[in-house]
Amino acid sequence: MHTLITGGAGFIGSHLAEYLISQGDDVTVLDNLSTGRLANLRQLSRDPRLGFVEGDVRDTELVESLVAQADRVFHLAAAVGVHVILDDPLGSLRTNLHGTENVLASANRHETRVLLASTSEIYGKNTADRLHENSDRILGSPLLSRWTYAAAKGIDEAFAHAYWRKHDLQVSIVRLFNTVGPRQTGRYGMVVPRLVRQALNDEPLTVYGDGEQTRCFSYVGDVVPALVAVEEHPDSAGRAFNLGGAQEISIKALAEQIIDVTGSRSIIEHIPYDQAYGEGYEDMRRRVPDNTAANELVGFVPKTSVRRIIELVAQAMLRDQTDRAGGLGSTPEGAGATAEVTHRTLAAEGSAS
């Protein structure tokens, strides 16, 4: 099986690449390295089953040539992270709308199966006890970047669904709820890597607002096999599936647990939202998934507790620091990647159309 992963040098994409290669796939990663990093693929650097193409999902011809050679596509490439969305709303819209349509159109031409990674952001401000796939979306003004992002991802889903209805494209959708784990960077705002790093450095943990907002963090190691199982299931096409964590936790409680697990001397510092994100930012107070559909389809059960996730993230950060101190070639979070990765640029091999 030859699998194309768009955004495969990102946090989730790189874990997916490792998982698929461990299952025997050949994997081609397409990534423009805007937020993805070659260092994320370091473990696979000598594996001949990994191909890496530096390029953009907005590049129609490139996408067409790569999809033509794939048996299936996991479309993860997107503008992600609150900071990216706020800093470059236009680029984010183009990536999330045009990039996705490129992938779907090519997949349709070649009758290639697709898994589209969507997001719990599409539910917006709905604070229901459990958000199921048909729950209402409650979005703020489209002139606020956060809601622009939610609107664009909603349109992506609508595109996917329309291709399925009109052309029977075998495309399934997963909505990811705060997926976390080793290799996720805090540079673009994500709370777990930011707070864990602060704790390991004995710096104040920056909790935005009153810290009573809640999330259900899911571990990447639980989510990745479910992505594959959903994609492979014969009844998943044309449907969307929530994939989220089982444990609802406030950001304040998360910060306290991070301090406890890491044995840090840090204190918690509350920072007003407008200071953290600028004027006019709206946060979600609560976001709780109903995972029943994914559980019924593929037996998805998020097993990893928040405490265990914190341990795993902290251990990985410490290992990374030790490697760097020992000069083993790993790169600091967010630094330019220097790790060697197999470059099998398919276009350069003359196989692009």
Summarize as ranges the residues that interact with ligand UDP (CB under 6 A): 82, 178, 189-191, 194, 206-208, 213, 215, 251, 283
User: Exactly one of 149, 188, 208, 277 is catalytic; which is it?
Assistant: 149
The Cα–Cα gap between 104 and 111 comes to 10
The Cα–Cα gap between 270 and 145 comes to 23
Q: How far is CA 58 from the centre of its chain?
A: 18
Would you say 50 or 207 has its CB closer to ligand UDP? 207
The Cα–Cα gap between 114 and 95 comes to 17
- Residue 263, burial from CB neighbour count under 10 angstroms (0-12, 13-18, 19+): exposed
Listed residue (142, 131, 138) closest to 176, CA to CA: 131
Residue 321 and residue 331 in contact, taking contact as beta carbons nearer than 8 Å: no
CB of 317 to ligand UDP, least distance (A): 15
CB of 166 to ligand UDP, least distance (A): 32
CB of 209 to ligand UDP, least distance (A): 7
Instruction: Quote the tokens at residue 168.
Output: 């029977």
Would you say 95 or 213 has its CB closer to ligand UDP? 213
Q: Could you confirm whether 19 is annotated as catalytic?
A: no
CB of 218 to ligand UDP, least distance (A): 12
CB of 216 to ligand UDP, least distance (A): 10
Taking the chain, what is the end-to-end CA distance rounded to the nearest angstrom? 21
Would you say 13 or 189 has its CB closer to ligand UDP? 189
Angle between helix 191-200 and helix 251-262 axes, rounded to 10 deg:
40
Residue 199 and residue 260 in contact, taking contact as beta carbons nearer than 8 Å: no
- Side chain identity, residue 31: D
Residue 194 and residue 259 in contact, taking contact as beta carbons nearer than 8 Å: no
CB of 167 to ligand UDP, least distance (A): 32
Would you say 213 or 330 has its CB closer to ligand UDP? 213
CB-CB neighbours of 321 under 10 Å: 15
Would you say 55 or 186 has its CB closer to ligand UDP? 186
Residue 186 and residue 314 in contact, taking contact as beta carbons nearer than 8 Å: no
Would you say 85 or 93 has its CB closer to ligand UDP? 85
Query: CA-based angle 95:161:59, to the nearest 5?
Result: 25
- Side chain identity, residue 1: M
Would you say 93 or 216 has its CB closer to ligand UDP? 216
Q: Is 332 left (phi over 0), alpha (psi -120 to 50) or beta?
A: beta
CB of 206 to ligand UDP, least distance (A): 4
* Residues designated catalytic: 149
